[in-house]
Structure 1
Amino acid sequence: MKPVVKEIFLLRFIACLGIVLMHGVTLALDMYDIVENPLLAVLTSIQLALMFGTPLFIFISEFVIAYSYPNQLPQKFYVKRFKYIFIPFLFIGVLDAALHSIGTNSGEFEKKVILNLFEGNFHGYFIIIIFQFYFLHPLFVKYIAPKYPAYQVIITAFIINFGYLAFFNFLDPYEYFYYLPYVELEWSVLNKMPFPAWIAYFVTAYYCGRNYEIFLSLLHRFRYQLFVVFLFTLSGLLAIQVLGLITEIHSKRIDVVLYTLSVAFLLFFIASKIQRMPSFIIFISRYSFGIYLLHPLFNIMVKNFLVNYEEKLSIFFVVFLSFFVSTICAIYVTSILNKWKFGAYLVGQVHLHEKQSANIVTHSVIGHDTTVE
């Protein structure tokens, strides 16, 4: 396996902490009854601006696979990911159900477990999406990538992705599918779980990872346009929300696709200009999976603790406290469990070697040193 390119550390760092901060804003909005006013507009705008987190993780996952294994996946690829990604998904799904079922009626726990594991009714649904692409990757490499030009495949992927999301973004299920018994649940599952909702990230990341040096050279060639596109897509995202064209705030919005990719490309460019990735960024990157899995569970505890003090606390203090506490606690628990023989099966692995080797191997790309791990 090739070393991991250093740029990935910054992308993981931003994606992970962006998701934690977004959930902190969501927690604060759940606690406080904010009427339509400038404060609500500010908080929802922050939420929207952070919606790149989950799709960025999908981009990172396929980029690393395409870069590291350009021709064939290694033996035990699926075994390792089952042990250290899928089993933690099952564990956290059950734990999330337990925390949400405290004080509820009998049978709610079992119902929540089924919804979590089979309907993706908690933040871990991202793992089911990732596994779809794990299985799609070798088929894509064998039957699609070598037979069709990259631009045709990318355009097709975007058409599929936009068409799929547009169906869910702009149709009212209660108007057109009122006859379905559980229309809201089915609509939510079909909107986020099947891979067509995320296919553009997968295909774009594959070609970027497979052609890493060319990708990096293009980013440097169009470096000024990267900032313009980022500002344009962010402005478009906020404008669509203000105009009421799409009112739901989630990462399955059609306008989030181009925005997320603009964020990914801009971060890649910025990271490529950093000679040595700061140790703090590498540290958070190492713990990103554990932070992702565990922070919502600590958010529940934070919310239960603060609910009695909400009148005395600023909403921004609640956001900060949620962000800080959930991040620190998630890192601590992940670290402790990884010292136990079976702990990695519960919260995923912490790759301790990344810190030591992140800035060792270097090679020249488009006239500047690109460090890889």
Structure 2
Amino acid sequence: MRRLVVFDALRFTAVLAVIAIHTTAANADTNLFSFGWNQFARFAVPLFILMSGFLLMGSMQHKTMSVREFYRKRFTKILIPYLIWTVIYTAFSSLGLLKDGQWLQFFKITFLNTITGNGFVHLYFLFVIFQLYLLFPFLKSWIVAKPKQAIIYTFLVTFIVQTAVYAHSIEWIHLPQTGISYGSYFPTWIFFFVFGMFLAIHYKTLEQIIRKQIHFTIGIWIISFSLLLSEGQQTQTFGLSMKPSVMLYCVTSYFMFYGLFLNMQKKLEQHEKRLKKLADSSFMVFLIHPLLLEVGRYFNENYLHLAILEGNFNSVIWFIVVTVLSIGFALIHYKLKTASLLPLMIRKPLTLLG
């Protein structure tokens, strides 16, 4: 599959949405603007998983590769960054232990974070992708042989799990505590991955439909976003990305953004090289932005005390600051192409085209 400039735009949009979720989370319950922006960005993680399935299927659809070779080539792209950043974020969260020389406790926490995906708020994504990669050879055979069955069954699995998590959050039921977030289990997200694989197989046919039906798609998106806003406010589950309303919102957001970018394709192609750099840097932006946000908030609370970072629209300022710093760091690395450990951190499970 040729590189798709539309998907470069989608990847960059998704990583901006992840940053928006994290920079608005602190006051989404008290500030209407932050609440709306936070909900608007809720498509982010499911869309990333959908794109991962799309791009992986697109790169592997016509290749013959043994399961062993697939695992060997693909897992390093996830495992190495995951291990490195789990250590980094665990160290950041355990500075007190390190300062007191409690190295044994630190190693214990690091190990537990590694096997549970609890290293930091966003690292569960790599934990989930690792599981989905493990299943990919089976899922590939399934989606090719019985596409309708694969879509329906995985939809039911994800819908049931996310509905159960949602019901638990509003205290309709009580799920058992496993020590691992339900968001770290692959059934919670498998539909998006398989749906992405399906879209990759049929993308040429679907492109024409999506391009022509953009106004209808925008209308459906508005309805799904309105439903998400209303439901989130009424049930106070606006901080949850695992629920049926987000499932609907993610799918409609994919078709809407994809349709918009398809209709902007000629303009996007004029900036193809720049967009490619931003898209290829999106994984590093995803990995580093929570660290920059936490460090920035620490320094402001303890040293700077800047009122602009504590006002009603502080989420906008934090979004701009964190985005600029994250992209700057990622682009500097992209340009320098150093031979240090950093390239290992930036290998991209989201690109999947080579």
Point out the more displaced range, 104-113 or 203-212: 104-113
Equivalent residues in 2 for 1:339-358, closer than 5 Å: 339-349=337-347
- What is the aligned partner in structure 2 of residue 153 from structure 1? 150
CA distance in structure 2 between the aligned counterparts of 1:174 and 1:220, rounded to whole angstroms: 42
Where 1:52 maps in the other structure, the secondary structure is helix
Q: 1:322 aligns with which of 318, 323, 327?
A: 318
- What is the aligned partner in structure 2 of residue 268 from structure 1? 258
CA distance in structure 1 between the aligned counterparts of 2:254 and 2:109, rounded to whole angstroms: 34
Equivalent residues in 2 for 1:253-332, closer than 5 Å: 253-273=243-263, 274-277=265-268, 278-279=271-272, 280-308=274-302, 309-310=304-305, 312-313=307-308, 314-315=310-311, 318-332=314-328
- Closer, same or farther: CA 146–62 of 1 in aligned 2, 3 Å: closer
User: How far is the alpha carbon of 1:22 from its aligned partner?
Assistant: 1.6
- 1:247 aligns to 2:237 (yes or no): yes
User: How far is the alpha carbon of 1:344 from its aligned partner?
Assistant: 4.6
- What is the aligned partner in structure 2 of residue 366 from structure 1? none
Q: Is residue 73–residue 138 contact of structure 1 (8 Å, CA) maintained in 2? A: no
CA distance in structure 2 between the aligned counterparts of 1:276 and 1:57, rounded to whole angstroms: 23
- Closer, same or farther: CA 295–254 of 1 in aligned 2, 3 Å: same
- 1:91 aligns to 2:95 (yes or no): no
- 1:216 aligns to 2:207 (yes or no): yes
Deviation per CA, 1:315-369, whole angstroms, max 9, x where unpaired? 3553234323333333344445552224355421389xx9xxxxxxxxxxxxxxx
2:157 is matched by which residue type in structure 1?
I
Q: 1:225 aligns with which of 188, 213, 216?
A: 216
Deviation per CA, 1:90-149, whole angstroms, max 9, x where unpaired? 11111111111223574663454234312211211101211222222221222x22442x
2:277 is matched by which residue type in structure 1?
F
Where 2:241 maps in the other structure, the secondary structure is coil
Equivalent residues in 2 for 1:53-132, closer than 5 Å: 53-72=44-63, 74=65, 77-103=70-96, 106=102, 109-121=106-118, 122=120, 123-132=122-131
Q: Is residue 337–residue 347 contact of structure 1 (8 Å, CA) maintained in 2? A: no
- Closer, same or farther: CA 73–276 of 1 in aligned 2, 3 Å: farther
Point out the more displaced range, 317-326 or 122-131: 317-326
Where 1:250 maps in the other structure, the secondary structure is coil
Point out the more displaced range, 313-322 or 5-14: 313-322
List runs of 5+ in structure 1 lacking aligned partners: 355-371
CA distance in structure 2 between the aligned counterparts of 1:225 and 1:89, rounded to whole angstroms: 40
Q: Is residue 211–residue 262 contact of structure 2 (8 Å, CA) maintained in 1? A: no
Q: Is residue 168–residue 174 contact of structure 2 (8 Å, CA) maintained in 1? A: no
- What is the aligned partner in structure 2 of residue 5 from structure 1? 4
Q: Is residue 93–residue 113 contact of structure 1 (8 Å, CA) maintained in 2? A: yes
Report the identity percentage. 24
List runs of 5+ in structure 2 lacking aligned partners: none
User: How far is the alpha carbon of 1:14 from its aligned partner?
Assistant: 0.5
- 1:46 aligns to 2:37 (yes or no): yes
User: How far is the alpha carbon of 1:304 from its aligned partner?
Assistant: 0.6
- Closer, same or farther: CA 235–174 of 1 in aligned 2, 3 Å: closer
CA distance in structure 1 between the aligned counterparts of 2:64 and 2:255, rounded to whole angstroms: 25
- What is the aligned partner in structure 2 of residue 235 from structure 1? 226
Point out the more displaced range, 99-108 or 79-88: 99-108
Q: Is residue 57–residue 140 contact of structure 2 (8 Å, CA) maintained in 1? A: no
CA distance in structure 2 between the aligned counterparts of 1:336 and 1:108, rounded to whole angstroms: 35
1:161 is matched by which residue type in structure 2?
T
Where 1:208 maps in the other structure, the secondary structure is helix
User: How far is the alpha carbon of 1:294 from its aligned partner?
Assistant: 0.7
More helix by share: 2
- What is the aligned partner in structure 2 of residue 359 from structure 1? none
Q: Is residue 72–residue 138 contact of structure 1 (8 Å, CA) maintained in 2? A: no
- Closer, same or farther: CA 231–153 of 1 in aligned 2, 3 Å: same
Where 1:305 maps in the other structure, the secondary structure is helix
